[in-house]
């Protein structure tokens, strides 16, 4: 496995949210230079990249909604993270042409400002055909060529077909057949939750943790499967951890503690706790990065360059923090600061709290 992909896998494993187990309807899958993310609505997105050792970064994103007879749409992006003579030479607007095994397969108009373009239906069809066999795939602009890898594409597209229930149908991307399209899994509606209003602080909240400093940390530690999940909590014989509290309801508070500090990521643990002993502490995550207005975020770099991120969100609904979003920005391939794409595996709409 190439070093950067191994690094990303290890980094994402390290910062994977520690939450109570719950069924997940999404899917994340990586093979060679391709990856797949399918969310809880059964929408699937497949992203492919240049070979790991290629200096000219390029990526395509193929999106397909669930349900019978759904088309595949595509986007193409050229890398803009690193300085590149090839990119510098591009005009403000230009045609980018797809070439497969040396044959023209359509073109699209791209802006130098965004280096992003929608693929035509012709390009998508030609690309899908090429990705299921050994092919030379190039994107040509201003006399330069960006090579898209097909390593891993067949496995990813097959996994997409499987997740959406398309195997053996005429609309399958890889394993086509004659099974009727009516049997393809339907799209699922995006779930909706209503965010809850937060209780006003109570008198004495600013001194609440000081009065519980001898007992509350032990209640938090008891929720951890492994002390390494939040080493900054320490143990009963170490210095007291740096805890913070925010009022959720008349009897519940949100307590946070620093957990880990790495080279480019810092994690924070969050717990729902009763404001009196015995606390009944409930762990939300040990991989948090921020809290704002009833939302906990866990946004972390896959590597120091910041060209790939994982993003999670939990929202207070009045009883618990619901996991309301999970995504990555794709592989660490030098496409763009902040990452190239949004590849969600969990999508939930959040309604505003009542006035």
Give the pLDDT confidence score for residue 236 in this predicted structure. Answer: 63
Per-residue confidence in pLDDT tens, the chain, 355 aa: 443 443 344 344 333 433 333 335 799 999 999 999 999 999 999 999 999 888 899 999 999 999 999 999 999 999 989 888 999 999 999 999 999 999 999 999 999 999 999 999 999 999 999 999 999 999 999 999 999 999 999 999 999 999 999 999 999 999 999 999 999 999 999 999 999 999 999 998 888 898 888 899 999 999 999 888 999 998 766 667 889 999 999 999 999 999 999 889 999 999 999 999 999 999 999 999 999 999 999 999 999 999 999 999 999 999 999 999 999 999 999 999 999 999 999 999 999 887 7
214: which 2 tokens? 């001898």
Give the pLDDT confidence score for residue 10 in this predicted structure. Answer: 36
Domain boundaries, the chain: 26-183, 192-351
Give the pLDDT confidence score for residue 305 in this predicted structure. Answer: 93
Give the pLDDT confidence score for residue 346 in this predicted structure. Answer: 97
CA distance 106 to 121: 9
Give the pLDDT confidence score for residue 345 in this predicted structure. Answer: 97
DSSP letter at 217?
H
Question: At 248, phi and psi to the nearest 5?
Answer: -105, -50
Instruction: Report whether 243 contacts 257 (CB < 8 A).
Output: yes
Q: In terms of residues, how long is the chain?
A: 355
Give the pLDDT confidence score for residue 340 in this predicted structure. Answer: 96
Give the pLDDT confidence score for residue 52 in this predicted structure. Answer: 87
State the DSSP H helix or E strand holding residue 14, giving kind and residue range, or none if neither.
Answer: helix 3-14
Going from the C-alpha of 208 to that of each of 107, 212, 250, 280, the distances in angstroms are 64, 7, 13, 16
Q: Is 94 exposed, middle or buried (0-12, 13-18, 19+ CB in 10 A)?
A: middle
Report the SS3 class of residue 247.
strand
104: which 2 tokens? 């023209």
Give the pLDDT confidence score for residue 213 in this predicted structure. Answer: 83
- Nearest Cα neighbor of 288 from 254, 318, 329, 238 is 254
* pTM confidence score: 0.90
Give the pLDDT confidence score for residue 2 in this predicted structure. Answer: 44
Architecture of domain 26-183: Sandwich (2.60)
222: which 2 tokens? 């008891």
């Amino acid at each position: 496995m190439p070093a950067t992909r191994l690094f990303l896998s290890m980094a994402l494993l390290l910062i994977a949210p520690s939450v109570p187990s719950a069924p997940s309807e999404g899917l994340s899958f990586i093979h060679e230079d391709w990856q797949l993310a399918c969310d809880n609505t059964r929408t699937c997105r497949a992203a492919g990249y240049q070979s790991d050792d290629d200096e000219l970064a390029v990526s395509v994103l193929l999106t397909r909604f669930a349900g019978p007879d759904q088309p595949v749409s595509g986007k193409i992006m050229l890398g803009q993270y690193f300085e590149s003579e090839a990119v510098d030479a591009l005009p403000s607007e230009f045609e980018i042409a797809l070439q497969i095994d040396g044959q023209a397969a359509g073109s699209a108009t791209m802006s130098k400002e965004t280096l992003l373009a929608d693929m035509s239906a012709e390009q998508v069809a030609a690309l899908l055909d090429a990705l299921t066999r050994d092919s030379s795939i190039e994107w040509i602009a201003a006399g330069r060529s960006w090579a898209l890898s097909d390593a891993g594409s067949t496995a990813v597209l097959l996994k997409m077909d499987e997740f959406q229930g398309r195997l053996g149908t005429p609309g399958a991307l890889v394993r086509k057949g004659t099974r009727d399209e009516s049997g393809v899994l339907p799209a699922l509606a995006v779930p909706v939750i209503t965010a809850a209003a937060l209780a006003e602080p109570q008198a004495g909240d600013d001194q609440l943790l000081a009065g519980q400093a001898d007992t509350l940390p032990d209640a938090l530690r008891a929720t951890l499967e492994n002390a390494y999940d939040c080493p900054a909590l320490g143990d009963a014989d170490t210095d007291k951890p740096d805890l913070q509290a925010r009022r959720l309801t008349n009897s519940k508070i949100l307590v946070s503690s620093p957990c880990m500090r790495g080279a480019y990521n810092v994690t924070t643990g969050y717990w729902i706790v009763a404001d009196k002993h015995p606390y009944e502490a409930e762990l939300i995550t040990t991989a948090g990065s921020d809290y704002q207005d009833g939302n906990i975020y866990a946004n972390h770099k896959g590597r120091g360059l910041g060209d790939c991120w994982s993003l999670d969100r939990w929202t207070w609904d009045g009883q618990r923090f619901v996991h309301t979003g999970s995504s990555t920005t794709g592989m660490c391939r030098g496409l763009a600061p902040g990452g190239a794409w949004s590849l969600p595996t969990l999508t939930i709409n959040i309604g505003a709290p009542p006035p």
